């Protein structure tokens, strides 16, 4: 273990935060488990639950920086998407950010803590009974180290928001509903079935294996390391694009909130460069949200394999089938750099 991690582990202040977040997280998920596949699909108006989801709305907001009133932006998105107070009131909300290998002050790698804080404040202001954050670190066995490195631990501790390490979760066995990979079943953390609403909160980035990593790819991060290992190689070996689709076909998050204020271009999801897109993208259907994000990035969604799998099955990706709210795609479009020497990034341009 290097010196940096020893400092993190031995700091009394860090241990105080860790103890609070662990205890609060355990309390947050102490409710009864519901049957796999019976999570709160359709809890939000406009979230389609049929076999063919043909239309969806996506909200795009221009946001100049993380110092802006993100709570207000997210509340505007709720209004545009038809998410009313009675839908949120009394509900338990799970926020799933992207915390892959964060490093302090490199805000293009992970979902920014202030976007997460804005979401927490927005849900609580609409009467949510509880909001908690959950993640299963894909590279390190200790998700609390990633929590500290991202700066999110400070925010959660200050706001008294629980954190759940999904790597250590008990699991629920669910049959693979997508059937594009070789996997017959998935093992999901039971916490996602205890939440009324699961929110995927990714960073907008390129990805050197999948092309892009957005709200659908972000659901890789709920899969527990105790089953799939670190960095979840079982899912990679079974086919990364196939597993991204299959996971989302089996468990659909009810909402996506994408941090595109500062994204990552080039050799994502870790080694790329920062790019300011100054947007937050929201929607009730993950494929529609991700297709909109790719167009903002200057990438053709039909060239992303897992989006092609999803098209017309769990969501639309065609522009004609997505109702854009807020800003237009062309009004905020920022072409992300694509590295030609990385095969999956070749030929993705719109």
Instruction: Round the CA-based radius of gyration of the chain to a whole number and report it.
Output: 18
Q: Please, which residues have CB within 8 angstroms of residue 125's CB and are 6 or more apart in sequence?
A: 71, 75
pTM exceeds cut of 0.75 = yes
Q: Please, which residues have CB within 8 angstroms of residue 317's CB and are 6 or more apart in sequence?
A: 287, 288, 290, 291, 301, 302, 307, 308, 310, 311
Residues 237-275 as b or e (16 or more Cβ within 10 Å = b) = ebbbbbbbbbbbbbbbbbbbbbbbbbbbbbbbbbebeeb
Q: What is the mean pLDDT of residues 197-204?
A: 98
| Closest to 58 measured CA to CA, from 331, 247, 310, 323 | 323
User: How many other β-carbons are positioned within 10 Å of the β-carbon of residue 32?
Assistant: 7
If pLDDT is split at 50, 70 and 90, which confidence band does 144 have? confident
Q: How far apart are CA 264 and CA 254, in angstroms?
A: 25
Q: How far apart are CA 185 and CA 204, in angstroms?
A: 29
More confident residue, 30 or 271: 271
Angle at 44 between CA 173 and CA 65, to 5 degrees: 100
Q: How far apart are CA 164 and CA 169, in angstroms?
A: 8
Q: What is the mean pLDDT of residues 312-321?
A: 95
Contact 235, 256 (CB under 8 A): no
Residue 10 reports pLDDT greater than 80: no
List, for residues 13-57, the tens digit of each pLDDT value. 554 666 666 656 666 665 544 444 433 333 443 333 444 556 899
Contact 134, 24 (CB under 8 A): no
Alpha helices (H) in the chain, listed in sequence order: 3-10, 12-28, 70-81, 85-88, 113-125, 143-150, 152-159, 191-194, 225-228, 233-237, 240-250, 286-296, 305-310, 329-332
| Closest to 334 measured CA to CA, from 261, 277, 263, 285 | 277
List, for residues 61-71, the tens digit of each pLDDT value. 999 999 999 99
Of the listed ranges 13-17, 131-135, 264-268, 284-288, the least confidently predicted one is 13-17
Residue-level pLDDT at 51? 46
Q: How far apart are CA 64 and CA 32, in angstroms?
A: 42
Residue 114 reports pLDDT greater than 70: yes
If pLDDT is split at 50, 70 and 90, which confidence band does 146 have? confident
Residue-level pLDDT at 168? 85
List, for residues 228-250, the tens digit of each pLDDT value. 988 888 999 999 999 999 999 99
Residue 284 reports pLDDT greater than 80: yes
Residue 226 reports pLDDT greater than 60: yes
Q: What is the mean pLDDT of residues 303-311?
A: 97
Q: How far apart are CA 347 and CA 176, in angstroms?
A: 31
List, for residues 82-111, the tens digit of each pLDDT value. 999 999 999 999 999 999 877 777 999 999
Of the listed ranges 45-59, 310-324, 328-342, the least confidently predicted one is 45-59
pLDDT > 70: percent of the chain: 84
Kindly report the average pLDDT of the chain as a whole number. Answer: 88
Residue-level pLDDT at 169? 87
């Amino acid at each position: 273990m290097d010196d940096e991690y020893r400092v993190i582990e031995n700091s009394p202040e860090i241990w105080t935060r860790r103890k609070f977040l662990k205890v609060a997280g355990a309390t947050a998920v102490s409710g009864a488990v519901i049957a796999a596949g019976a999570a709160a699909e359709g809890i939000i108006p406009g979230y389609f639950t049929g076999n063919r989801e043909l239309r969806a709305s996506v909200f795009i907001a221009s946001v100049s920086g993380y110092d802006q009133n993100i709570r207000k932006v997210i509340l505007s998105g709720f209004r545009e998407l038809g998410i009313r107070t009675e839908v949120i009131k009394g509900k338990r909300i799970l926020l799933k950010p992207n915390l892959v290998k964060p490093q302090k002050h490199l805000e293009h790698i992970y979902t920014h803590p202030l976007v997460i804080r804005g979401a927490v404040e927005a849900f609580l202001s609409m009467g949510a009974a509880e909001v908690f954050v959950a993640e299963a670190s894909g590279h390190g066995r200790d998700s609390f180290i990633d929590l500290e490195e991202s700066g999110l631990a400070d925010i959660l501790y200050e706001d008294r928001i629980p954190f759940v390490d999904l790597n250590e979760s008990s699991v629920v066995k669910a049959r693979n509903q997508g059937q594009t990979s070789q996997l017959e079943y998935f093992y999901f953390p039971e916490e996602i079935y205890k939440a009324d609403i699961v929110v995927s909160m990714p960073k907008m980035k390129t990805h050197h294996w999948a092309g892009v990593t957005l709200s659908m790819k972000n659901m890789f991060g709920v899969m527990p390391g105790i089953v799939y290992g670190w960095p979840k190689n079982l899912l990679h070996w079974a086919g990364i694009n196939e597993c991204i689709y299959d996971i989302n076909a089996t468990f659909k998050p009810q909402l996506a909130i994408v941090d595109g204020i500062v994204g990552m271009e080039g050799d994502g999801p870790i080694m790329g460069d920062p790019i300011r897109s100054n947007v937050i993208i929201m929607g009730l259907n993950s494929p529609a949200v991700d297709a909109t994000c790719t167009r903002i990035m200057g990438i053709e969604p039909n060239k992303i394999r897992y989006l092609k799998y999803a098209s017309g099955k769990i969501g639309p990706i065609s522009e004609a089938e997505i109702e854009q709210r807020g800003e237009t795609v062309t009004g905020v479009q920022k072409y992300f750099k694509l590295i030609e020497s990385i095969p999956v990034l070749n030929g993705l341009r719109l």
